[in-house]
Each structure stands twice: as C-alpha cells, then as structure tokens.
C-alpha cells in the first residue's frame, strides 16, 4: 500500500460529525454530488498493479477495488473506482474507517449514511454497492479481530 500509515488524530465520532456538518452545509443534492465527486478525486492514487480480481468488490455497477493493510493494531484501507460518485462514497468510508482498530470499525456502523440522507439519493445499484463496500470493510475487521485473538498477526 503506497499511502503513509498514519493513525487518525480524531475519533470516529468527530470525523462523522464533520462529514454530517459538511453535507448539511450544502444547499441541494447537486452540490452534494459535486462534493462527493471532489472527495473521490482527492483520494490517493490506487496502484494499477492492484486492480486485480482478488481486490475487486462486486455488487455495484462500477468497478471497485479495495486494499487493506494491518499495521500496529490498525487497519488501513485504500480504494478506487471507475465511477466519480462511487469514488466519493469510498472516500467517505475511508475517512471514517481507515486507520482504526478492527474493534472500532465493528463498534461503529455507518449510521452517518442515513444521517446525511445519502442512501435515499443514490440509485439502487449505487446503494447496493455502498452496502457491499461497508460489508467488505466490516468483514475484513472481523477476520482481523479473529486473527488478533488467535495470535495469527
């Protein structure tokens, strides 16, 4: 993973609060979609050699890749999509969950998605894709927690 592995300085609650406030500040859904697209564009580049089948997520019309790395008790994620809006959705999830312990990830479901009314403004395919992204992040956290408990890491 090419991005630096730096633990977040803010709690999940603080990050979620900023996301919610940011979305509430925007007047309409056109502005919110533009914001999502900007978030996606600002994501660190995803390594081309990692756009492989084993890193691919399914359940969304867009192509999505997700990498995870466990380092010093924390999970770090890197992701990419060929869709601008889906990239923005990934950016939101990674802001909240990357650099967290597996337990933190499992203790904090993505309730902020409902809070910013995002699901009701996504197409069925994008909403399903978002659910699959979150499911995969949580699955990685669950598997990592089991490996931690059994001393496999």
Enumerate the active-site residues.
60
Task: Let me know how long the chain is.
Answer: 153
User: Which of 131, 140, 7 minimizes the C-alpha distance to 66?
Assistant: 140
Residues 6+ apart with CB under 8 A from 149: none
Kindly state the tokens that stand for 38.
């900007």
Neighbouring CB atoms inside 10 A of 108's CB total 18
Q: First CA to last CA across the chain, in angstroms?
A: 18
């Amino acid at each position: 993973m090419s991005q630096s592995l730096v633990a977040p300085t803010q709690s999940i609650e603080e990050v979620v609060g900023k996301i919610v406030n940011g979305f509430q500040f925007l007047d309409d859904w056109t502005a919110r979609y533009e914001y999502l697209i900007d978030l996606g564009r600002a994501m660190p580049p995803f390594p081309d050699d990692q756009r492989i089948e084993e890193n691919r997520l399914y359940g969304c019309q867009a192509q999505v890749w997700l990498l995870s790395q466990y380092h010093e008790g924390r999970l770090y994620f890197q992701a990419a999509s060929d869709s601008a809006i889906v990239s923005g959705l990934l950016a939101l999830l990674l802001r909240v969950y990357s650099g967290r312990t597996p337990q933190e990830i499992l203790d904090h479901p993505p309730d902020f998605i409902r809070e910013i009314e995002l699901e009701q403004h996504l197409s069925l395919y994008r909403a399903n894709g978002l659910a699959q992204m979150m499911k995969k992040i949580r699955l990685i956290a669950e598997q990592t927690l089991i490996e931690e408990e059994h001393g496999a890491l």
